[in-house]
A and B are shown apart, each in its own frame.
Chain A
């Protein structure tokens, strides 16, 4: 996994609440069997008209935000379907950080596994960032995971919290399957006390 320490980049505001993963990546793009190449389908139905032409009024197509790597949105971002494709499409499109006042659990988990940082700030802080992003040309934020801060160069400054272990993994780009496998003794001990039930062996064809 790509480690995350600090990132400075331009900000695009997506002023909507409850942005669900069906919007982030519509189902017709879930049929790929790879992890890559989802960026072009990000927010597809919001970005493109039915005939495939770009909708110029959607924030991601606003030339002011064309270089954005930080997305700021309303509460409950990433709700709905568990599809990790949503995170892959955001990351593939070039986003490194999503800022919102609340995230759906599964989305936040999926983000962690892919080095995409989700930063939870208060509603007034999110509103302030959106206001600044809408009114300042090339509005930039610096997000520092070591110091747990979000800052711009016009005096905005906020701190956020994050689970220590999740932060440790992100900072170091750790593969958590590898970490879990370090507990092999404990896993094997658990399994010897809790064997698979005999009925289940009948589930395999040919047994």
Chain B
């Protein structure tokens, strides 16, 4: 057989049918569901008298809307409460397992899938959320879908899909100290642009990627969508197996051995061909900060807000101008002089235990700048408890950070955690779009370490010069 890429192997293994003149039909192993993009899909099933074909391949939780104040308090926003109730009712009616708001497994959908061992190598995974690309870190094909497709998968467990193209992003060498997977992701998007990978599935390869922990790989794959990619993936290896083994829903005993043998065949064959190849020199990357209103508008923290004349294309220049006006920044301003009002450490990009550890290491023995309000929102209840076991919450609380309950929170501000108009935020989330964190709010994307440092300094600062206690 001709050499195949990781993507092609998973694609081929999931082809149910390739009808003449139609898009190929692929089988979906795992469908993750949350409260915001599913109510209309369940309604569609009801209208057409359809059932959920595979309830045990479907897992639901509530994350987007949930308040991050202590659990057990009533949900103040009646419309959010209604959406959460709708999911509870739909899961009951259609027999779909739900990790509800009061469950110890609750968390951001892209955090709990891996954490519970539900996400595994070689799978096809979809969710009505664009950051489903996160799960590709395990060597699965995972992508976001819209509500009509959610209904489609609920009803048929399949999706008609046009075969995407493949892109290899080969990260040579090693990341320097203080440069994280988040910076790698921002560096890639800054280079290829927010539409740079549209129509492609990215496979990340190279020494720097192999060296990343699972948490860091999830951060990298998570941000693939911000480059426009359909999905991002990394071939499973020892790091992957060590993470998955012994998780609650991981295969056990002989099943585990069989699964491992299958997963070990997934890596791209020597000679496997990609439609496009991009090489990145890891050592050339620095801690990044976004200055504009999309994740591609990004520079190293040591640099300045770009001059408008530096944009070759008229449309990009105008976009930069609009972005700077929205962000209230001047071209040429040093990034380190930008002060912040708020800091958010959380989201499916950077809310895992390792992210919290790295932020806590920065925060330890320091104090949040009195002008700044900073919050830490763990990605799941399990992470929250693990962090509390390690005493991370003490470090954050002593330093003046708020320590909240798990959920999407200020990543998209559907719950009460939002920016006020004009407030500027250092955020570990994935989108700095206009109004994403609250109308008129100004978001700068950074790594957890850079966010913690900004909270303490009151402005962006190069983490490589940090005084760790």
Chain B min CB distance to A130 (Å): 11
List chain B residues, Cβ under 8 A from A28: 414
Is B83 interfacial (CB-CB < 8 Å)? yes
List chain B residues, Cβ under 8 A from A15: 318
Q: A50-B439, A196-B56 are in contact. Are A180 and B27 (CB under 8 A)?
A: no
Classify the secondary structure of B's interface with A. loop
Is A61 interfacial (CB-CB < 8 Å)? no
Is A135 interfacial (CB-CB < 8 Å)? no
Contact with A along B197-240 (1 / 0, CB 8 A): 01100000000000000000000000000001010000000000
Is A16 interfacial (CB-CB < 8 Å)? yes
Instruction: Report Cα–Cα, A163/B160, bound state, in Å.
Output: 12
Q: A81-B130, A84-B146 are in contact. Are A204 and B198 (CB under 8 A)?
A: no
B431 touching A196 by the CB < 8 A rule?
no
Contact with A along B134-153 (1 / 0, CB 8 A): 00000000001111110110
Partner of B146, one of A106, A186, A205: A106
Instruction: Report Cα–Cα, A76/B55, bound state, in Å.
Output: 35
A179 touching B145 by the CB < 8 A rule?
no
Instruction: Report Cα–Cα, A87/B37, bound state, in Å.
Output: 13
Determine the interface band of chain B, counting residues with CB < 8 A from chain A. Answer: 35 or more
B249 touching A200 by the CB < 8 A rule?
yes
Q: How many residues of A contact B (CB 8 A)?
A: 65
Chain A min CB distance to B4 (Å): 19
Is A10 interfacial (CB-CB < 8 Å)? no
Is B268 interfacial (CB-CB < 8 Å)? no
Chain A min CB distance to B24 (Å): 10
List chain B residues, Cβ under 8 A from A177: 48, 50, 151-152, 155-156
Chain B min CB distance to A104 (Å): 6
List chain B residues, Cβ under 8 A from A180: 25, 152, 155-156, 158, 160
Q: A33-B40, A80-B431, A187-B158 are in contact. Are A200 and B145 (CB under 8 A)?
A: no
Instruction: Report Cα–Cα, A82/B413, bound state, in Å.
Output: 16
Selected interface stretch from B14-22, B347-355, B377-385, B397-405: B14-22
Partner of B40, one of A34, A166, A200, A204: A34
A194 touching B146 by the CB < 8 A rule?
no
B148 touching A27 by the CB < 8 A rule?
no
List chain A residues, Cβ under 8 A from B50: 177
Is A148 interfacial (CB-CB < 8 Å)? no
B157 touching A187 by the CB < 8 A rule?
yes
A183 touching B158 by the CB < 8 A rule?
yes
Partner of B433, one of A16, A80, A105, A165: A80
B152 touching A82 by the CB < 8 A rule?
no
Is B43 interfacial (CB-CB < 8 Å)? yes
Q: Which residues of A contact B (CB under 8 A)?
A: 15-18, 20, 22-23, 26-28, 30-35, 45, 50, 74-76, 79-85, 87, 102-106, 109-110, 113-114, 123, 163-166, 168, 176-177, 179-181, 183, 186-187, 190-191, 194, 196-205
Given contacts A28-B414, A177-B156, A199-B248, 5 further A-B contacts (CB under 8 A): A81-B129, A84-B146, A106-B146, A180-B156, A183-B25
